[in-house]
Amino acid sequence: MAADDQFIRGAGMLAVLKVLEGGELYGYAIVEALARTKGDALHLGQSTVYPMLYNLEAKGLVKSRWDESGARPRKYYSLTKAGKTRLAEDTDQWREITKAMASLGLARLGLARLGLARLGLAQSGFVKFGFARFSPSILALG
């Protein structure tokens, strides 16, 4: 199931922050990390991820640096202190949302369907429900 625009704005940016929590990566490596998740929800192409990275950088949540020592120059991204704080806050919001959704009696969806378990967000409550069906405006970065 492909993700809709609302899901990408909220959960996609959170997923990018989560990927960067593991350390500095260049842009295409972030795209590849998201593509390795199960399901289609986070199979975001370059045309989606790069604008997210620019937006996150403009908001001070990630920083970038150029590395020209390899065969081709690569722009590496990493979390700033503000980005780490935002990741923690947004993860907490996901926990609260999953609790609220559970109280409504919504059924759980499999981790494979949303493709977020490999990002380590399963324990945070990120993937307990199909958030692509809900407007995650509370999670939108910005």
Give residue limits of the domains in the chain.
Answer: 5-137
At 37-92, the pLDDT tens digits run: 766 667 788 888 999 999 999 999 999 999 999 899 999 999 999 999 999 999 88
At 91-130, the pLDDT tens digits run: 888 888 878 877 877 755 443 344 444 555 544 444 433 3
CATH class of residue range 5-137? mainly alpha
Q: How many helices (H) and strands (E) does the chain have?
A: 6, 3
What is the reported pLDDT for 137? 36
**Is the separation of the CB atoms in 32 and 42 below 8 Å?**
no
pTM of this structure:
0.69
| Distance (Å, whole) CA 37 – CA 35 | 5
| Distance (Å, whole) CA 44 – CA 141 | 17
Of 44, 27, 20, nearest in space to 115 by CA: 44
Instruction: Report which secondary-structure segment, H or E, holds 25.
Output: strand 25-26
